[in-house]
Chain A
Amino acid sequence: MTDQGSIDLRAMATDGKAVRALSRRRMLQLAAVTGASAFLAACGTAGTRTPGPSASAGRPSPSGSAPSVGPSATASPSDTESPVPGASTSPSSEPIQQSREPVTGNFRFANWVGYMDKAPGNRFPTLERFTEETGITVEYSNGAVDDNESFYTVDLEGPLGVGEPTGWDIVVLTDWMMQRLIAKGWLEQIDTNGLVNYPANLLDQYRSRPWDPDNTYAAPWQSGMTGLGFDRAKTGDLDSLEALWDPQFAGRMTYLSEMRDTIGLSALRLGFDPAALTQDQYDQAVAEVQRAVDEGLVRQLAGNSYVDVMDLGDAVLAIAWSGDVQGLLVPDQAADQDFVWVLAREGGMIWTDNMGIPKGAQNKAQAEAWIDFYYRPEVAAVVEAWVNYVCPVKGAAEEMLRLDPALAENTFIFPTEEMRARLHEFVSVDLDTAALWEEAFNDAIGL
């Protein structure tokens, strides 16, 4: 995999539109994902042990250009000064970063694209701020995760299956995948001893998840919605899932390679509740996806890289994640493009992505320091205002409105009650059924 700085795609084409269309970041994200798969497919069952994050974003910024987010920057030193009484009685435990000696060093962070506030020059202000405050650098891989299943098989399954560390210290994955990792015992407990903000600032609705009732393994990162993303300039206004099966857009649509998103919408279109999907309903929903593929309606099935296909103009309609359109597509759109995201009238999917620490992570204390940092409301607010997803941090909403009152109107960040009523989670099935469903889905999509 390549270092993000070393390749200049601008050299590949001179036409401004084409270059803008597939920005460096996204191209490399795609490259990294396929590259890893290529390598693995070539060598069989083994997993890569060193995933090689492609960006080292959290360099201390000597220019002092980290964003100032109000007066709150002074809050952090106090975090590191409050000692935890009694912590020293557990000699075997690793040094606890917040309370006793602050740790330095670095940690490696695997995330999806468009999931961290970004400034020109491929800088991530929030990560820079974290580094300034703590001295911990972040090897941030923007787009290491393209879809859950691929990340699991490429980056996690191989090493964790034989008890080796994965090379990642924080991975951001969706609920059902976290559930699988917890069931396999492949996540470290987040040591909250001495953490000031986590889980204290976790919103109540995330505290009763049956697979992680005490929030020991999964720290929610963002929640988001799955619906219709389209270029209104080409498609006109859309509000129904029927559009995804409309021959008018044949060959100009992408579906998600995440089974739960694509099948979820297919089920909603057929009038089924994805949260209570039966085997029979599942089969019907898959058959509809199969039909769309067979009839050539679907140009491509992709993970997060669907945004590239849309950006280039090759797809005008996609099964899309809510924040991507606002955060990744709209800022980049050409004069003849008008990207919008809509929650279809039949409904959409809701999900939560979580931060987890893979078993044997070598920089666990640093990762925990980061989790605590993110759960500071004014930090989460800055990330949130950029990524346009739903924030799990208590107090972040207020901070955001203080930053920019107009955000109150942003339904990506604050879905209305009416929208919430139309959002569904995907049914939680046992692992064997999930495997069968995944297989049926792959058959349907030509693999």
Chain B
Amino acid sequence: MSWFRRHPSATAYILLAPGILYLLVFYLYPTAQMFLVSLWTGSPETGYALTGNFGIYPEALAQYSEHLTRSIFYGGAATIVTFLVGFPLAYFIAFRGGRYKSVLLFLVIAPFFTSFLLRTLSWKIIFADNGLALGPLKDAGLLPDTFRLLATPTAVIAGIAYNFLPFMTLPLYVALEKIPPNLLEAAQDLYADGWQRFRRVTLPLALPGVFAGSLLTFIPAVGDFINAELLGDPRSQMIGNVIQARFLRVSDYPTGAALSFILMAAIIIGVLLYARLVGTEELTGGTT
């Protein structure tokens, strides 16, 4: 016991060891491996050799820039949708939830008890061209017969937003929940009206939640491929679909791996810029 007391930093490392080991084995090693794969040349039939073919990066980027920008656009749009839906939801639960708070929070997470895949597949039934949702509207003459939701970019973005909504809502809720009521009272005492109170007190204090929620949504959303595969058409496939097809249909591992790194780099750059713009001191380690 006393040894640990005399070596506080050793204690920290011992506590960190499982996490570090985990990252080494399941993140750094595969990432390094994948990086080497991206530098292979060859074909599945003739075998591959590590040739240090860095030229594959500009090639892959040029060939699939359209998919990349599309993915960033879809991911960004979905993040905005989740924010627009998630913020009022989190606000309501945090400030008006009362004794139903935990029930409401449970309801936000409830869809997660069903497989991601099945929930997305069920959209295919619900939003079929003449299905539960669109059929009656078309029968009533509110929509033209040729209207469709599935196999469109709208469906892909909506599907992503639907699937990632809790990732936005929960951090927002945590941030809003933390706001001390006396700060709001103080604002009121200083003659702030409702809107000013929201804009000058609530929103700034919720920013860490906005930041965390949008990152948690945006990063996986850009790489998502299930929604595009199930709800999109051939023209709305995302970079994740291309990576999947490169690995699983064409067995072109180098291009698949290179695209994975390009995607990673694009996301990291985007996130750093975002952190510069919106990031709060609380998140970057400063003191409030």
Q: How far is the CA of A308 from the CA of B230 in the complex (A)?
A: 12
Main secondary structure of the interface of B (DSSP, over half): helix
Q: How far is the CA of A372 from the CA of B151 in the complex (A)?
A: 44
A-B contact pairs, 8 of them (CB 8 A): A37-B248, A45-B34, A251-B146, A251-B151, A251-B233, A293-B234, A312-B125, A439-B252
Q: When the two chains form the complex, which single residue of B122, B129, B150, B245 contacts A442, counting CB atoms closer than 8 Å?
A: B245
Given contacts A34-B226, A149-B249, contact A27 B45 (CB under 8 A): no
B162 at the interface (CB under 8 A from A): no
Beta-carbon contact of B245 and A13 below 8 Å: no
The smallest C-beta distance from A262 to any residue of chain B, in angstroms, reads 12
Contacts of B115 in A (CB 8 A): 2, 31
Contacts of A9 in B (CB 8 A): 122, 125
Contacts of B234 in A (CB 8 A): 293, 298, 300-301, 445-447
Given contacts A45-B253, A312-B125, contact A38 B117 (CB under 8 A): yes
Given contacts A15-B132, A22-B125, A30-B121, contact A40 B233 (CB under 8 A): no
Contacts of B33 in A (CB 8 A): 44
Q: When the two chains form the complex, which single residue of A15, A34, A45, A447 contacts B249, counting CB atoms closer than 8 Å?
A: A447
Beta-carbon contact of A296 and B251 below 8 Å: no
A371 at the interface (CB under 8 A from B): no
Q: Contact flags (1/0) for A14-45 with B, using CB distance below 8 Å?
A: 01001101100001001100110110110111
Q: How far is the CA of A294 from the CA of B66 in the complex (A)?
A: 13
Given contacts A149-B249, A447-B245, contact A298 B125 (CB under 8 A): no
The smallest C-beta distance from A235 to any residue of chain B, in angstroms, reads 14
The smallest C-beta distance from A297 to any residue of chain B, in angstroms, reads 10
B72 at the interface (CB under 8 A from A): no
Given contacts A150-B249, A431-B45, A435-B44, contact A38 B125 (CB under 8 A): no
B250 at the interface (CB under 8 A from A): yes
Beta-carbon contact of A41 and B243 below 8 Å: yes
Chain B contributes a number of interface residues (CB within 8 A of A) equal to 47
Within 8 A of B (CB), among A414-447: 431-432, 435, 438-439, 442, 445-447
Within 8 A of B (CB), among A95-120: none
Given contacts A12-B122, A41-B225, A431-B45, contact A313 B251 (CB under 8 A): no
A7 at the interface (CB under 8 A from B): yes
A154 at the interface (CB under 8 A from B): yes
The smallest C-beta distance from B230 to any residue of chain A, in angstroms, reads 7
Q: How far is the CA of A15 from the CA of B241 in the complex (A)?
A: 32
For the complex of A and B, the 8 pairs showing the least CB-CB separation, nearest first, are: A446-B234, A447-B245, A431-B45, A41-B244, A153-B248, A312-B128, A293-B234, A446-B237
B86 at the interface (CB under 8 A from A): no
Within 8 A of B (CB), among A147-171: 149-150, 153-154, 157
The smallest C-beta distance from A280 to any residue of chain B, in angstroms, reads 22
B124 at the interface (CB under 8 A from A): yes
Given contacts A300-B151, A431-B45, contact A18 B128 (CB under 8 A): yes
Contacts of B121 in A (CB 8 A): 22, 27, 30-31
Q: How far is the CA of A15 from the CA of B132 in the complex (A)?
A: 7
Q: When the two chains form the complex, which single residue of A31, A431, A439, A446 contacts B235, counting CB atoms closer than 8 Å?
A: A446
Which of A34, A308, A445 gathers most chain B CB within 10 Å?
A34
Q: When the two chains form the complex, which single residue of B148, B230, B240, B243 contacts A34, counting CB atoms closer than 8 Å?
A: B230
B94 at the interface (CB under 8 A from A): no
Beta-carbon contact of B128 and A314 below 8 Å: yes
Beta-carbon contact of B118 and A38 below 8 Å: no
Beta-carbon contact of A34 and B229 below 8 Å: yes
Beta-carbon contact of A312 and B117 below 8 Å: no
Q: How far is the CA of A35 from the CA of B126 in the complex (A)?
A: 21
B160 at the interface (CB under 8 A from A): no
The smallest C-beta distance from B144 to any residue of chain A, in angstroms, reads 13
B157 at the interface (CB under 8 A from A): no
Given contacts A13-B125, A18-B132, A313-B128, contact A150 B242 (CB under 8 A): no
* Given A30-B121, A149-B250, A153-B251; 15 other pairs, CB 8 A cutoff: A13-B126, A22-B125, A27-B118, A40-B247, A44-B257, A45-B247, A153-B249, A251-B148, A298-B234, A299-B233, A300-B233, A312-B124, A312-B129, A442-B249, A442-B250
Contacts of B146 in A (CB 8 A): 251
Contacts of A439 in B (CB 8 A): 250, 252
Q: Contact flags (1/0) for B185-227 with A, using CB distance below 8 Å?
A: 0000000000000000000000000000000000000000110
B53 at the interface (CB under 8 A from A): no
Q: How far is the CA of A35 from the CA of B249 in the complex (A)?
A: 15
B43 at the interface (CB under 8 A from A): yes
Contacts of B288 in A (CB 8 A): none
Q: How far is the CA of A293 from the CA of B234 in the complex (A)?
A: 6
Beta-carbon contact of A432 and B46 below 8 Å: yes
The smallest C-beta distance from A9 to any residue of chain B, in angstroms, reads 8
Beta-carbon contact of B248 and A314 below 8 Å: no
B37 at the interface (CB under 8 A from A): yes
Beta-carbon contact of A18 and B248 below 8 Å: no
Q: How far is the CA of A95 from the CA of B43 in the complex (A)?
A: 39
B130 at the interface (CB under 8 A from A): yes
Beta-carbon contact of A435 and B253 below 8 Å: no
Contacts of A35 in B (CB 8 A): 117
Beta-carbon contact of B250 and A296 below 8 Å: no
Beta-carbon contact of B34 and A44 below 8 Å: yes
Beta-carbon contact of A296 and B248 below 8 Å: no
